[in-house]
Structure 1
Amino acid sequence: MRMDMGELVIEREFSAPRGAVWAAFTEPEILAEWFGPEGWGVHIDTVTIEPRVGGVQKFVMHLLEDPTQTSPVHARFTEVREHELLVGEDGPHEMTLNLVIEMRVQFADCPAGTALRITQGPLPAEVLEPARAGWISSFTKLDRLFAAHL
């Protein structure tokens, strides 16, 4: 059986300094406040982030209306350049025919504050748009967090 696979690329600017956007991805207390689309949350007690090569990123997203519905993340960092780049591998996953999913998060300065570029894949073609929508929804939560604290 062959599954059509693709790669998700999202580019987004935040009105926040690069260090604050980096912290949103690397500090457990901050990640737990924004990660996951609207209607989903992350309990801080499920979060472990070790932003170094070989370090782990683990947490469990849960549906707020039904916490038994979960989506765990268990990745290992393969490349880390502080305030510039996080690369991690998560998997293997059954939904990608046991492929490992790589995620690259690049941070750069821009006139608005910080430019973020996320590349994630390979992903089954049918989950590309739902994944994009999830990130966009998560970033709305992150914008609110920055507005409240910066």
Structure 2
Amino acid sequence: MTANVMVVVERQYDYPRPEVFRAWTAPEEMAQWRGSPGWHVETETVTSDLKLGGRHHHVKVRDNDPTTRVTTDAVFTEYFEPDVFVARQRITGDPGIDPDAPLELRVEFTKTGRNGTLVRIVQGPYDPTVAGYHSKGWELELDRLETYLAGHRNREVPR
């Protein structure tokens, strides 16, 4: 089949845009939450040159089988902190993604209310047979982001 499906996922957070944007882009923060349940990002593999034309790299590893690894290499084609970033990605190790066909990842951060942020992810193109699986993966990762942000806020608030 032809890869022609874009996955679109949105989630509302009760945290300010700069905080949510930083969680997505700062390597030390991203490594804390990225990956669906049962996966983790190897902290030492995360690199990001946070600018237009900058490169990004990370490796996700299956918790119960460390030999199962998915590598993402990307270049930022847009980078406007804290509003949006777009990256052209090559993903290897995921059987549902052709490593020779680049994907585009667009993540938008829209201010809502006083201190809220709407995150909108658009990624693809995917083969229609795997698009739903990757959409669900993003939903699960965004759950982990919520947990990370809640814990991060609790550490920063003086008691």
Q: Same fold (TM over 0.5)?
A: yes
| Per-residue deviation, residues 9-39 of structure 1 (Å, max 9, x unmatched) | 1111112110111011111111001001001
TM-score (norm 1): 0.92
For 1:34 and 1:99, locate their aligned partners in 2 and report how far apart those are by CA, in whole Å.
26
Higher strand share: 1
Instruction: Give the alignment partner of residue 104 of structure 1, picking from 103, 106, 110.
Output: 106
User: How far 1:91 moved relative to its partner?
Assistant: 2.6
Structure 1 regions of 5+ residues with no counterpart? none
Structure 2 regions of 5+ residues with no counterpart? 154-159
TM-score (norm 2): 0.87
Q: Does 1:44 align with 2:43?
A: yes
For 2:12 and 2:87, locate their aligned partners in 1 and report how far apart those are by CA, in whole Å.
21
Residue 113 of structure 1 aligns with an amino acid whose one-letter code is G
Q: Secondary structure at the match of 1:99?
A: coil
1:80 is matched with which residue?
79
2:10 is matched with which residue?
11
**Alignment root-mean-square deviation, CA:** 1.8
Quick one: percent identity of the two aligned structures? 32
| Per-residue deviation, residues 34-74 of structure 1 (Å, max 9, x unmatched) | 00100100111000011111111100000011111111100
Residue 42 of structure 1 aligns with an amino acid whose one-letter code is V
Q: How many aligned positions are there?
A: 149
For 1:121 and 1:65, locate their aligned partners in 2 and report how far apart those are by CA, in whole Å.
28
